[in-house]
A and B are shown apart, each in its own frame.
Chain A
Amino acid sequence: MDIDWQLFADSFWPILVGGATGTIPLALSSFAIGLVIALGVALLRLSPLKPLRAVGWFYVSVIRGTPLLVQLFFIFYALPALGWVVPPWPSAILAFSLNVGGYAAEIIRAAILSVPQGQWEAGYTVGYSKAQTLWRVILPQAVRVAVPPLSNTFISLVKDTSLASVVLVTELFRVARQIATFSSEFVAIYLEAALIYWLFCLVLAWGQGRIERRLSRHVVR
């Protein structure tokens, strides 16, 4: 079969713009909010109080035990039936944030646990409160452990945002689908969409390497 290379070239820019104005902001904002949720849930999971630990466990279990597409549909289609109408963008950000929150919580929890107990004690002994010790001593060291798995989570998120196209968010894949539907050039357009996702992920993987090198400068290798 012939590939319409002219269409391929013409649609590169619109699809890329869809990525830059849809995929990337969606992924970035969801990831940022998701990390805040994740830190909170991780701290719940590490709490000395059993009820708080149970809440954290329940959250992680529900998020990881249900498909992201179902979570997205629930927020966009089911919540309005219960009286809460959430517009496309907020519902997508909400779904992705909650989802990242569940997965990243376990990463952050493990990273916090990887910091030796002596570091908590050293923080306490110089007079830091629990919160100060966490913030000034433990988290900076935990970050180094958490960055590689969190980068994976982020890269997965960038690709998962394509699901937002089904709740009417204009992002990379929705633009591609519209072009493909009008032109019927499925091979060219979906190949191109895949290529642009790949491009984004290459850049992200490169950034991940840089961050990891920067964070490991204070440890003996």
Chain B
Amino acid sequence: MSSAEKPLLQVTGLRKRFGDNEVLRGIDLEVRRGQVVAIIGPSGSGKTTVLRSLNGLEVPDGGEIAIEPGLHLDFQYPLTDAHRYGLRDRSAMVFQNYNLFPHRTVLQNVTDAPIRVRGLPRAQAVAEAEALLARVGLAEKRDAYPYELSGGQQQRVGIVRALALKPELLLFDEPTSALDPELVGEVLQVIKELADEGWTMVIVTHEISFARQVADEVLFIDGGVVVERGAPKRILTDPQEERTARFLQRLLHPFDD
């Protein structure tokens, strides 16, 4: 197989334990360029830990992560700083709580890392940031501080901050879970546009209808293993596994018995 046909991201047998709690028990995941994978599952299932491992925020105890071309991590060996920077060079993370830098303006939030880390000339970083902010409808907020923005606006800045790093892989950790319900739509709309543009993404989400619309593949994770995976339509409307069916039932019809 030539490297062009290899998946962009290949995760094999990922294992992670927090004390007595084995949160990941051998997770496999494959994401091709341009593909959108949604990970669903109950809280505590390990889905966020998978995502954080892809960005080097969590260090698995075993298994492998490969980002093609050229980055191959085997977690039976200690993770070096070079590995961490490697992961962060290729992927970018959007957090549930946005985690914008509160002491910096919107523009500084977006441009500082491209300037400091990627060595972009300031003028170019600013021009790119302004273009990205305009895309998500926040051009006029460039000099605002995060506390002056709504949650939906803050999360759109969070997405722009990730995009400005020009990652090959975008990681979303429950990007709308902290938002007021009426603000969820504006953020999902932005993510959907990115999917349509061909960005490669892994999204941990509870938004089932969104996953169905946007994802090419859905993984249901429970108890640290992938219980079921496949096309969103099949997983979300006709799950084969009892656990998947029960989870969807609880999520979609929380008041039924």
Contacts and interface: CB of A to CB of B under 8 A. Distances in A.
Contacts of B99: 116, 118-119, 121-122
A218 interface: yes
Interface in B87-112: 88-89, 92-93, 95, 97, 99-103, 112
Given A118-B97, A136-B112, A218 B147 contact: yes
Nearest to B105: A218
Interface residues of A, number: 19
Chain B interface category by residue count? 20 to 34
A220 B145 CA distance: 10
Contacts of B84: 124
Contact of A219 (B89, B113, B147): B147
A-side binding surface: helix, strand, loop or mixed? helix
Interface stretch (A5-13, A54-62, A126-134): A126-134
A133 B100 CA distance: 13
Nearest to B55: A125
A188 interface: no
B117 interface: yes
B161 interface: yes
Interface in B36-59: 55-57
Given A137-B101, A141-B103, A220-B147, A128 B113 contact: yes
A125 B147 contact: no
B101 to A, nearest CB: 6
Interface of A: 116, 118-119, 121-122, 124-129, 132, 136-137, 140-141, 218-220
